[in-house]
Each structure stands twice: as C-alpha cells, then as structure tokens.
Amino acid sequence: MNSIIAIELGTNAVRIFAFDLMGNIIGFAKGHYPTFHEGPDNSEQDPEQIFITMLYVLKNLLNETLYPQKYVVGCICFSASMHSLLTVDKDGVPLGNVMTWADNRGKEEAVELKESELGRKLYEATGTPIHPMSSMVKIAWLRRNDPERFKRTSKFLPVKSYIIQQLTGACIIDYSLGSAMGLMNIHKLDWDDDALGFAGITAQKLPQLVPVFYSEAKLKKEFQKALRLQPEVKLIVGSSDGCLATLGAGVWEEGKATITIEDSGAFRIIGDKIIKDHNKQIFNYLLTKEHIVSGGPTNSGGVIFEWFTKRFGDFKKAFDIDYSMGNLIRDAAEVAVGSDGLLFLPYLLGERAPIWNANAKGCYFGINIRHERKHFIRATIEGILYEMYSIGKTFENHRTINSLSVNGSFASIPFCTQIIADIFNKPVSTITHGGTIGVGAFLLSATEMGMYKNLREASNTIKMHQIFLPNANDHARYMQYFAVFESLIEKIGVEFDTISKLQNIK
C-alpha cells in the first residue's frame, strides 16, 4: 500500500487526486457534470451522472496513471460540496435530481424562519445560517411545495451519502457535511429535534452521523473487481469541501484565517470554540467535534469576473476565456489603486455573507467622464475583494487575525493576492500546491492511518509559498473607498427588492 486517493465531489466536477505517502500528488483527473437551472431559483444535478462520472474518472486515473507505476491504493477519502439534498424512495431510487447549495427555492421559508425566535435557536443549535441553501429549509420547502415527493421520500441525503451508499450499501454522513445541513445539533453531535420539527421529518429519514475518520463501510466486491482495488482498501467518509480546504490550507494557529475564492468564495478560521454571532451570519461547521470551521460564504467570487470577461473581454480565439482574462488583468494593472474613484458592488447573484440578501444586485458607482474600460476592469476586481474584506471584518469582533492564507483560482492570481494584502493590511501567504481540498483529504487520511498524531500536526506540514506584504499607502487609499462601499450597501435597501421584483416580471 503506497498511495491515497482523495475524491472531491465539487460543485461542477468531480476531481480526484492521488498522493503518495509523502503527500506528493502522483495523479489527477477530473470529470465535469452540469448544473440544470429549470427555473430562476432552481439549481440541480443528476445524481446518477455524478456517480457514473466519479466511477469513470476514478477508473481512468487508476488504469492510466497509478497501476502502470505499480502504485497500490491504501485508502480513498471523500469530500463533497455542502448543503446538497437528494430525496430517495424506499428502494433507494432517487426521486428527482440533487438540489445543490445554490438552489434558492426555499427563499420564503428562510425569510419567515430567520426573523423568528425559532430561527435564532436553530442557528445556535446547528451552526448553519438560516438560508435557502440549508438542507433543513429545502426539506421544509419540499413539504410545502411538492408534498407528493415529500411523502414518497424515505431518506433525505446529501449527495455524498448517496455516492457512498452506491459504493458500499451504508447510509452514512460525516459530521462536517451533517453540520452543514442545518439539521444537526453541533453541541450534541446528533440530529436536532427542533430542526427536524421545522423540516417536518424524523431522524429515521436521515443518514447515520459518523465522525470524519469513519471507515467501516466496505467497498462492494463488484467495484473492487472493476477498479482492481485490494479487498482491504479503506474508504474514509471524509469531510466537506469547506472544512478540508481550510485543513489543506494549513491555517491552524491562532491569529490566522484563510480566504478561498473560486467561483464563489469564503473567509474561514479554525478554532476549538463555536463563534456566537448575534447577527446569526457566521457559520460554524464541524471538522471534528474539537475543531470548528467558522466563516462566511460569498456568492460574489471569480464567477463575477468571469461574467465581466464574457461580456467585455476580447475573444480572439473561440472560447479562450483564460487568455481573455489575462489581458483584462494586464489592463487593470495600469489603473491606480482605487480605480480613480470607480466603485463596484458585486452582487450579480444576490449575496450571502455579510449582507444575506438574495435580492441584492450589482452596481457601478462614481463613474465620471474620464473613466475608461480599464477602470471598470479594476473596479470589478476591487469590488469582489472589498466584499471579501467586509466578511473578514465581521470576524475581527470575535478573533484577532494577524495573517491570511489565500487559495482558489481567483484569489491566487498574484494581482488579486496583492490587493487582498493591501485591503486587509495583513501579510498574505499562498500555498505551493494547487488543490487545498485534495490536500486536506490527504492530511485527514494520513492522520487516520497514524502518520500524524492529530490534524493540527498534519496541517502544520503545509508549506507556505510566497508572502505578499501589504503596502500601507495603498491600504489607506483602499480604506477611503471601502468606507463609501460600505455605506452604499447600507443605503441601498428597498431598491434592491424593487428592482428585483421588476426584473422578475415576465
């Protein structure tokens, strides 16, 4: 046995990393699956497609990369994106598609609950902000809006449970993903009665909760054979993408936080205590029962810059968005800090943290006659990063943060990383390896196998790469603009709702 496999069931693709026992990446493969948007609030994926894609990619990686080099797989560890929900009938057959974290159909249910006393109680018990992303809210929505499906449902599962059930027959979920469902009491490590009550189900309708290291579920013989894996190969249930990205970013010590920006983004810290936020905004998800990942998620990440690129970038070669983005960044770098007074609110997709307003919209502010295209480019990037800063700021009330670690395809563009350092006025490090989630899964597996004493020790092995130091002058300039950014958000309130309504009129 000399290799470990990490399977990441992500938002739009399955990514599989293979590591040797030193933690070096010895293979990587991915397989895309689409998200279907039948209505403006729907966001769904096909569970069987996710399963087959995972199987197909895993098989190819083993046959094409690992076996030719005589690697033998010791264990397979799973990661998945949070808040997904699949309903299956008494035969375990899916009823409809998976609802992803981005599915907003439970908007009304969430708004009603959020303002109530029960909402506060549930937030404190479960650590999950009251939002349509929460599986609890989704189930309540189903009960109200699709009673037939609700009635036929025998289990409500995160997509990872379904995949593991296909592979092993066991119906389980780890504490991390369990705690992101909005149904688990993070203090008692069991399903929460009030949350179950709100959803309208009993604990029998949910998978069994297990620690992230759990490895009792065994791979079915047929899959062992098809994948040519050893009978003793261990399946570790693993954790969520958010928790593993934090672990894999090596941010463990006091005073550190991590910023991830891919399509969407998050600001996260690890601690041994839950952060009680009276605004009910900060999430608290469990990596293990001793280690809590607290943070705030944003919708406004790289996807917003991608929008800008598609609309306003140059496309010399068909579909070559990377080339086009590179050019935009080069143009943005010609503009002074603060985009000569052009500000951008990045809420094209509504927003979660820190304003939690699904109706929020994008906005350029302060345009004058001298502003050019390149100002809009830079303002767009700065807007996305101001937004991350406004999330980070809410944490400074709870913890002292001295330095940041940055990952994700958007945040780790050097131009963006430097702006993060300047806006936050803190040193920012990046990581030598690419996939923090995969590395997190490796560290978790290696700890389970006894190679590290505990997760803290595992996490400390992550080497920080480049350090970006803040520039005090630039920071001061950014703060002047950020003050306007902040007060704009405060001032625009009912207008977001009105314009949202107008936009939804057909």
Partner 1 sequence: MNQLLLQQEASKELADFPHIKEFAYKKNNTIQLNSFNVGVMDCIGIYYVLEGKHNWVIGASEHTLYPGDIAVILPGENFGGKNNILNIGSLMWVKLNVQNHRQLIGEWSQLSKKERHSLEQILSVNKDLLVLNIKEAQALFFELKYELQNGEVGFCTRIAQLLDHLFIIICRQLIRQNHSRRDFPTTFLRLEQTLRQNLARQWTVEEMAAFAGMGTTAFTEKVKNYSGFSPLNYLINLRITEAIKLLKRNEVNVTDIALAIGFYSSQHFSTTFKKLTGYTPSDFRKNNIQINNLQP
Q: Which residues bind partner 1 (CB under 8 A)?
A: 13, 29-32, 34, 46, 48-49, 51-53, 55-57, 59, 90-93, 169, 220-227, 309-311, 313, 315, 318-319, 321, 324
Which structure tokens are listed for 101?
A: 């974290």
Which structure tokens are listed for 373?
A: 């295209």
Identity at 194, one-letter amino acid code: D
What distances in angstroms separate CA 314 from CA 318, 342, 364, one per listed residue? 10, 22, 21
Taking the C-alpha atoms of residue 253 and residue 156, their distance in angstroms, rounded to an integer, is 36
Q: Which is nearer to partner 1, 221 or 491 (CB)?
A: 221
Q: Which is nearer to partner 1, 165 or 459 (CB)?
A: 165
Q: Which is nearer to partner 1, 229 or 275 (CB)?
A: 229
Q: Which is nearer to partner 1, 29 or 237 (CB)?
A: 29
Least gap, CB of 57 to partner 1 (angstroms): 6
Beta bridge partners of 173: 209
- CB 348, CB 361: distance < 8 Å: yes
Least gap, CB of 211 to partner 1 (angstroms): 25
Q: Which is nearer to partner 1, 315 or 463 (CB)?
A: 315
Least gap, CB of 34 to partner 1 (angstroms): 5
Least gap, CB of 49 to partner 1 (angstroms): 4
Least gap, CB of 120 to partner 1 (angstroms): 37
Query: Residue 354, preceding bond cis, omega within 30 degrees?
Result: yes
Least gap, CB of 52 to partner 1 (angstroms): 5
Q: Which is nearer to partner 1, 103 or 474 (CB)?
A: 103
Q: Which is nearer to partner 1, 22 or 93 (CB)?
A: 93
- 262: helix, coil or strand? coil
Least gap, CB of 48 to partner 1 (angstroms): 5
Calculate ∠ Cα 361-367-373, nearest 5°. 90
User: What is the phi/psi pair of residue 60, to 5°?
Assistant: -65, -40
Polymer length of the chain: 506
DSSP class per residue in 122-187: HHHHH---SSTTSHHHHHHHHHHH-HHHHHH-SEEE-HHHHHHHHHHS--EEEHHHHHTTT-EETT
Least gap, CB of 205 to partner 1 (angstroms): 13
Least gap, CB of 270 to partner 1 (angstroms): 31
- 256: helix, coil or strand? strand
Taking the C-alpha atoms of residue 59 and residue 442, their distance in angstroms, rounded to an integer, is 19
Q: Which is nearer to partner 1, 208 or 402 (CB)?
A: 208
Q: Which is nearer to partner 1, 173 or 227 (CB)?
A: 227
Instruction: Sort residue 271 into left (φ over 0), alpha (ψ -120 to 50) or beta.
Output: beta
Q: Which is nearer to partner 1, 223 or 365 (CB)?
A: 223
Taking the alpha carbons at both ends of the chain, their separation in whole angstroms is 60
Cβ neighbors of 504 (< 8 A, separation 6 or more) are: 40
Least gap, CB of 51 to partner 1 (angstroms): 7
Cβ neighbors of 152 (< 8 A, separation 6 or more) are: 87, 89, 95
What distances in angstroms separate CA 44 from CA 36, 56, 96, 99, 430, one per listed residue? 5, 21, 9, 5, 33
Q: Which is nearer to partner 1, 305 or 496 (CB)?
A: 305
Evaluated on CA atoms 335, 337, 343, 347, the torsion sign reads positive
Least gap, CB of 485 to partner 1 (angstroms): 29
